[in-house]
Amino acid sequence: NTITLATFPISLFCYNIWQMGMKYIQYNLFSKIRRIAFVVSAIVMFLSSLPALAEKTNVFFIHGANVSEQDARAWAAVMFKGLYQAGANMEFYPVAWQSDIGPSYNYHINASNAFVTASFLAPRVNSVPGRKVVIAHSLGTMVAAAAIEDYGMQVEKLIMLNSAIPS
């Protein structure tokens, strides 16, 4: 089980988008990602306007279920761009986890892997100093919630988008 945490500097974002080419992203996935990025951008614009949140924040993005590694990278790039363009003062950490296990997608196997992933994620997030906000989508909310509840991940806010668990 592997988790990838990496910062997304602007130059890397531009390079990745052109290297990957948008043709690799299915239009329906890209459309969904754009809508979510817009919502998150609005949230971040509101939050960053508050004086207490003007300092740099560490933002962790956890994708949802049935997302390939390539789509996870593309989704993270779109989220980063939306947040950056909204003026977020942040370090961005996309969290890649294996959420498309099985020859044909099996939700229950991947939900089980969300709990395993949480055990690896919590210490990595806790090792990053400063303010921390987690943005999670779908089954990614289960990863985040399990990391907080079961493994003591310390975050200031958890933003759940189309959550796979009740809020």
Q: What is the pLDDT of residues 72-119, one digit of tens each?
A: 888 888 888 888 877 788 899 999 898 888 777 788 898 999 999 999
Give the pLDDT of residue 148.
97
Output the average pLDDT for the chain. 76
Q: What percentage of the chain has pLDDT greater than the value 90? A: 32
* Nearest in space to 12 (alpha carbons), one of 88, 66, 84: 84
Q: Residue 18's Cα: distance from chain center in Å?
A: 21
User: For the whole model, what pTM was predicted?
Assistant: 0.72
HSE of 93 in the Cβ direction (CA atoms, 13 Å)?
A: 21
pLDDT one-digit tens code per residue, 127-145: 999 999 999 999 999 999 9
Q: pLDDT: is 159 or 52 the higher one?
A: 159
- Determine how many CB atoms are found less than 10 A away from the CB of residue 96: 20
